[in-house]
Amino acid sequence: MIYRCENYIYESENGYKGLIEKFKSSDFDTPKSIKEYMFNVLQRVGFETDIVEDLNEERFIKGLEELKIIERMYRVFVYGTLKKGYGNNRLLKNSFREKDCYIDGYDMYSNNCFPMIIPGDGKIYCETYLVNEHTLTKLDLLEGCPTHYRREEVIANNNIKGYIYIYNCDLSTQIKVKTGNWQRAY
């Protein structure tokens, strides 16, 4: 799970409980003011910080979301017109860009306007973004998900999980992009 609080990102493989531990941890690598801010807000809305451990973790996080203290984020790997320098990148203007990566086990094709990927033997070079739910919905609409493309969770070369859009339609008339890099396709 990935959450944003102000301009800081909190990520946990252990779900809600892991997020709570990161929020409370004195050795977590964020400014102390962020931790103090979160717990001050909890106290203002009636939570005693010493009983946080007794709360249902899912309810705790959802409460923070409802109060707009934190926002759920989703990692997306993009490889075509959503990349920087292309027209659809405008949809990612309020997102957080992370390090570039590649995804093994996919082949790229093109119709000269946009790329498509399907499971295969190749490597796809991607930009990585953290997006909120509103932006993820916009991306699903752009990609025609789930009809034209489907969104699947994959693991990149740097062992991070995220979503990528896989093509669902016929590729028999499309051109294979052997490099796996849309920017170097032609």
pLDDT, tens only, 57-79: 566 666 677 766 678 899 999 99
Does the annotation mark 143 as catalytic? yes
Do 48 and 100 fall within a single domain?
Answer: no
Residues 156 and 178 in one domain: yes
26 has pLDDT over 50: no
- Is residue 86 domain-shared with residue 170, that is, in the same domain? yes
Given a cut of 90, is residue 48 above it in pLDDT? no
pLDDT at 79: 96
- Does residue 137 or residue 21 have the better pLDDT? 137
Per-residue confidence (pLDDT) for residue 28, from 0 to 100: 45
89, 15: one domain: no
Interval 5-29 mean pLDDT: 62
Same domain, 102 and 157: yes
* Confidence check: pLDDT of 21 > 80: no
Question: Among 167, 70, 158, which Cα is nearest to 109's?
Answer: 167
Q: Is pLDDT larger for residue 1 or for residue 139?
A: 139
Containing structural domain, residue 51: 2-69
Report helix, strand or coil for 127: strand
From 94, 134, 25, select the one nearest 10 (Cα to Cα).
25
Contact 170, 116 (CB under 8 A): no
One domain for residues 135 and 44: no
Which residue among the candidates 58, 65, 143, 153 is catalytic per the annotation?
Answer: 143
Q: Report the CATH number at residue 134.
A: 3.10.490.10
What's the structural domain count of the chain? Answer: 2
